[in-house]
Amino acid sequence: MMRSRKPLVIIMIGPPGSGKGTQSSKIGASLGIPKISTGDILRAVASEKTLFAESIRNTISSGGLVSDEILATLIKSRLASSDCENGFILDGYPRNTEQAIYLESLLSEAKYYIVVVEIDLPEDVLIKRVTGRFSCKLCGAIYNKYFRETKKKGVCDECGSLEFVYRSDDSEVVVTERLREYARQTLPVIDFYKSKKMLHKIDGNKTACDVYTDLMSIFSQLNESAGQ
């Protein structure tokens, strides 16, 4: 694991299908810092038996978005946990400029070394990554009809199961709308960090292993700067 005198904060930005969630988990395991996603936080809170949890569940089930104010409270509480003392990875936050400004004020209270990474891919590749994916119903192994079919058609490589699951929200219409929403809300966040010279863009149109190597290369190169 790389170590620096300042806790490392990694902000991962990327559209649906970019693989940022998977990469965040791998990087977190390598660097020994937690991956924090708003989705995980909201699911954990929603599972509680409180009126607040009920309101979160109702918002999510109705397809609505949890307010910036609620997310800010949840993020602040999560970052105060002891496992964040040596740094953390944010996956899915901030998603708009207002959230980015709030996060900046929150992180300014402590001395962090912040790295913002954008995983960039062509839209046609993103659509195929999302619409083509399916998983084994038994073991959860993930495949893609465009990029990673099972070795034997209809049979899971890992466990031999013949049953697979396709997500209903992975249709091209839904994915295109999600990409449009991503562009509307998140691209201004990219401009925000770019103006502060904090943004590192990498080519996500590679194998997962190559993307991981590129990401770790960024953190290796910045490690000495983080300790200054």
Q: Which listed residue (26, 35, 78, 95) is catalytic?
A: 95
Q: Which listed residue (26, 35, 78, 133) is catalytic?
A: 133
167 is in an annotated binding site: yes
129 as an active site residue: the answer is: no
78 as an active site residue: the answer is: no
38 is in an annotated binding site: yes
5 as an active site residue: the answer is: no
178 is in an annotated binding site: yes
Q: Which listed residue (6, 57, 137, 178) is catalytic?
A: 178
Calculate the dihedral angle through the C-alpha atoms of 206, 212, 217, 219, rounding to the nearest 10 degrees.
130
Q: How far apart are CA 202 and CA 18, in angstroms?
A: 11
Q: Which listed residue (20, 26, 78, 128) is catalytic?
A: 20
132 is in an annotated binding site: no
227 is in an annotated binding site: no
90 is in an annotated binding site: no
Q: Give alpha helix (H) positions in 47-157.
A: 51-61, 68-79, 97-107, 123-131
Long-range contacts of 129-136 (CB under 8 A, 24+ apart): 129/17, 129/19, 130/16, 130/17, 130/170, 130/175, 131/170, 131/171, 131/172, 131/175, 133/167, 133/170, 134/164, 134/165, 134/166, 135/164, 135/165, 136/161, 136/163, 136/164, 136/165
92 is in an annotated binding site: yes
43 is in an annotated binding site: yes
Q: Which listed residue (167, 184, 196, 201) is catalytic?
A: 167
128 is in an annotated binding site: no
99 is in an annotated binding site: yes
Neighbours of 176 (CB within 10 A): 15
Whether the Cβ atoms of residue 102 and residue 94 lie closer than 8 Å to each other:
yes
22 is in an annotated binding site: yes
Q: Which two tokens stand for residue 149?
A: 């079919």
148 as an active site residue: the answer is: no
18 is in an annotated binding site: yes
143 is in an annotated binding site: yes
Q: Which of 158, 123, 132 is nearest to 14 (CA)?
A: 123
CA 68, 74, 79, 80 dihedral sign is: positive
Active site residues: 20, 95, 133, 167, 178
- Residues marked as binding? 17-22, 38, 43, 64-66, 92-95, 99, 133, 136, 139, 142-143, 156, 159, 167, 178, 206
Annotated binding site for Zn(2+): 136, 139, 156, 159
> Which residues are documented as binding site for AMP?
38, 43, 64-66, 92-95, 99, 167, 178
Can you say which residues are annotated as belonging to the binding site for ATP?
17-22, 133, 142-143, 206
